[in-house]
Each structure stands twice: as C-alpha cells, then as structure tokens.
Amino acid sequence: MKITRRNALRLSLAAPGLAALRRPARAAQPPIRLGFLTVKTGPLASGGIQMEQGLTLFLKEQGGKLAGRSVELFTEDTGGVPANALTKAQALVERDKVDAVVGPLAAFELLAIIGYTDRQKMPVLAVAAAENISQRTPSPWFLRCTSSSAQASQPMGYYAAKTLGYRKVTMIADDITYGYEQCAGFMRVFEDNGGKVIQRLWPPLNAPDYGTYIAEIRPDADAVFQAFAGANGFRFTQQYFEYGLGGRKPIIAGMTGIDDSILPQIGNIALGLLSTCFYSPALTYPSNKTFVAAMRKTYHADPGYYSAGTYVTGQVLAAALEKIGGKIEERELLMHTLRTSVVPETARGPVRFDQFGNVIGNVYIRKVERVGSWLVNVPIHTFHDVSQFWTFNQAAFLKDPVYSKTWPPTRYIEH
C-alpha cells in the first residue's frame, strides 16, 4: 500500500486502538518454577506419596496459580537416600532453574542438601524435621511449616508424666536422625517431670521384623513410646498387638508413628492409641475441612503429617507471595516475608515463625477414634503456640548439644 499523508494520519490515529487490542492490561509474568523433593520408593515412600498428594491438591485448589502466576511443578524422587537427595536438589536448581524447593521428607536428606542450597541461595520449604537446621547451625534460606523432630514429642513427654501418670517408659524408633531426635525430646521432658526412660531400642530403617525388639521390652515399663516413620509405624504396631502386648502395655506415639495415612492398615486395634502431632484431620478450621474432603474424594484417604505438611506449606507460601506481588525471584524479600508471616488460619491452625524459620503453632495430643466409617486421630488436648524450644530458655537450650542418639545422656537405663 502506498503511504500517503492521509493514510499515515489514519494509521497514526488507529495505532493506539490497535496497540490496546494487542497489549494485555499488564505484562504477563513467567510461570513460577517450583521444585519438589519427595520419596516415592523405599521404606519412606508412603509418606512421600502423601506429600505429593497434599501439594497437588493445594495447587489444584488454587487453579494452578499463586499470586496470579501459573505454577510449574518439578518433582524428583530421592528414594529416601541422602546422596540421591543432593543429586536431585542439584538437578532442580541447575537444570530446571526452580525458584524455590518444597521438601525433602527425611531429616537426613535435609542435612545432606542444606549446604548446597545455602550456597545457591535457594529457598527451601522443608517438611523434614532435622533439629539443628533451625537451631545451632541455622540456614537463612530455610523455612519449616511442620515441626522440628522434638517439637511435638516434648509436649508428649510432659503429658505422659503429668496427665497419664506414667513413671517408666521404653522408647523405640527407627535408627535414624529423626528417631533419635524425637526420642531425645520426649525423654528430656518426661524425666524432667518425674518419669524415667528405662530402655531405648533402635531397629534399622529397613528392619524386616520387629519381633526380637518387642521381645526385649521390659515388663516393668508402664508404656512404650514409639517414634517410627513411614509405614514402619504400621508394621511395628501390628506386630506389637500380635505379640500380645497391645492390651497390657499402652503405646504412645510420635508425630508419624500412627499417622492417619496408615490407620486404615492398622485397623481397629488402633482404637484408643495416643499420639502427638501438629495436625489432625478432625480439626475444624474451614481450610482443613476443605482439605480433608478433597483428600477423601480424590485419594480415598485421610491426610496425615506428610500431606498436611505440604498443604500448609503451600498455604504459607501463597500468603507470602500475595504480600510481595508474586515476586518469587526476589529471594531475600521472599524469605523475609515468609519468616515474618503470621498466618491466622491454616489447615493445622494459626502459625508464625521464630528467628530461625521454624514454625510456632499448636501441638495436639490425639486419640484414635472411629468417626463415621473412618479411624481418625482426634485431638483430646491442645498445647497452644508451641515453640521448638518448648518451655526451655532458648539461649540455654542452644548451648547444649543437639538432640541425638547419645544426648541427653540416659539417667535410668541400666547397661
């Protein structure tokens, strides 16, 4: 077309309208690239699959968007192996160019990756409960919305001594960091309140059978504190009743020992068992009712520690991104906003965070009851606003060694 002065004028007058038609009201933002480390194979796979279910349901509930930006999820299976966790974290950061990582599941996996992710200044929103990452060797790029290993077992130590009146307890847990730290927190508070831990048993993570360990449980123990992870809690509890101890010596459990995800497998023998956790499907918060209904409809299962962990993590991340206009690439701003967040309602209840990025929130003592056709860990007592430091002086707490297989030292175990 020959451009005359009249044509040029006509085009110049039309141009603003054409531009308005072609240009969106605001520039489209690229998708948020969210990395996800979980476990789909090995003895911890049941928990890892629940982690994926919780996060998937949350993102679906949000229409696949956070703060108006679409989300691309990059999932890696660590197999519950520390070296694999590091390799998969490197792939997410260097190959997939993710903006943040949710996971991993296990304490030993978190310990394996945190040095690398810190060097990369990569935000890690962990489910894993490793104590020292939020205590003596804190990471500025870390946030935990679930619980440190001992954060729920310390209240159980108090409850077992003061409310249940137990005086002697045997502890048994997987021979891994998570097991040591749960038991150490329980033992410290239980013994500070007049109880005695008289035995500690450490089956390997892949133990084919717990019979030999069950046979070792001392007859003078009032109860057994079990702190297993994944499906091991189901296998131990089932065998415990098969050996005839269930009706004679009560089990009290840590966060995942009788998780709601394994209650259908345990069956009616679980009725009446007590446990401690930051979450219960019976909580009446509106978002939790939505979450539980979605889990039951989609997966025919109740949420437990692992799926609630990723669901709540999604809620906290979404709240922070709304505050900063979805600018997840501004990592220092993101971490500051996450750590200073006060989220008045999540599926687990209100949460806020300490200076180390660890959650402060409710811990529930729960009892297995039948609710309709479901076996559910129903809260019977709430410890409000629980810190990872329990009631201890924080400065004094941090001067002690991290909870472990050997600390605190045993006071009442005969060698």
Asked if the structure places residue 191 within a domain, the reply is yes
Flag whether 255 is in a domain: yes
Average pLDDT of the chain?
93
Taking 80 as the threshold, does the pLDDT of residue 7 lie above it?
no
Q: Say which residues have a Cβ less than 8 Å from residue 83's Cβ, sequence separation at least 6.
A: 112
pLDDT attached to residue 13? 34
Tens of pLDDT, residue by residue over 221-278, are: 999 999 999 889 999 999 999 999 998 999 999 999 999 999 999 999 999 999 999 9
Torsions phi, psi for 268 (to 5 deg)? -65, -20
Q: For residues 234 and 379, state if they share a domain.
A: yes
Span 39-53, average pLDDT: 93
pLDDT tens-place string over residues 389-408: 999 999 999 999 999 999 99
Residue 381's contacts (CB-CB under 8 Å, 6 or more residues apart) are: 159, 163, 364, 365
Residue 51 inside a domain? The answer is yes
The CATH number given to whatever domain includes residue 264 is 3.40.50.2300
Kindly state whether residues 319 and 347 are assigned to the same domain: yes
Both 268 and 205 in a single domain?
Answer: yes
Band of pLDDT at residue 28, cut at 50, 70 and 90? confident
Better-scored residue on pLDDT, 7 or 304: 304
Please tell me whether the peptide bond between 43 and the residue prior to it is cis, using omega within 30 degrees of 0: no
Angstrom distance (rounded) from CA 158 to CA 190: 5
Overall domain count for the chain:
2
Length of the chain: 415
| 66 is a domain residue | yes
Dump pLDDT digits (tens) for 88-122.
999 999 999 999 999 999 999 999 999 999 999 99
For tokens 């703060």, the residue is 67
At residue 230, the pLDDT reads 86
Q: Are residues 162 and 277 in the same domain?
A: yes
Same domain, 369 and 263: yes
Domain assignment of residue 197, given as a range = 153-283+362-399
Residue 210 inside a domain? The answer is: yes
The reported pLDDT for the residue numbered 145 is 98
Please give the helix or strand (H or E) that residue 264 lies within, else none. Answer: helix 263-266
Percent of the chain with pLDDT over 90: 90
Confirm if 351 and 338 have CB atoms less than 8 A apart: no
Structure tokens at 215: 């046979």
**Is 113 a member of any domain?**
yes
Residues 243 and 293 in one domain: no
One domain for residues 181 and 271: yes
- Within this chain, do residues 255 and 222 fall inside the same structural domain, yes or no? yes
Radius of gyration of the chain (CA): 24
> Do 391 and 259 reside in the same domain of the chain?
yes
User: Domain check: are 277 and 289 in the same one?
Assistant: no
Whether residue 20 lies inside any domain: the answer is no
378 in any annotated domain: yes
Tokens coding 362: 């409710």
Q: What's the pLDDT at 386?
A: 98
Are 369 and 353 members of one domain?
no
CA distance 42 to 24: 48
pLDDT of 304 higher than 90 = yes
Are 235 and 186 contained in the same domain?
Answer: yes
Residue 3 has pLDDT above 50, yes or no: no
Question: Which positions ≥6 away from 220 have C-beta within 8 Å?
Answer: 168, 198
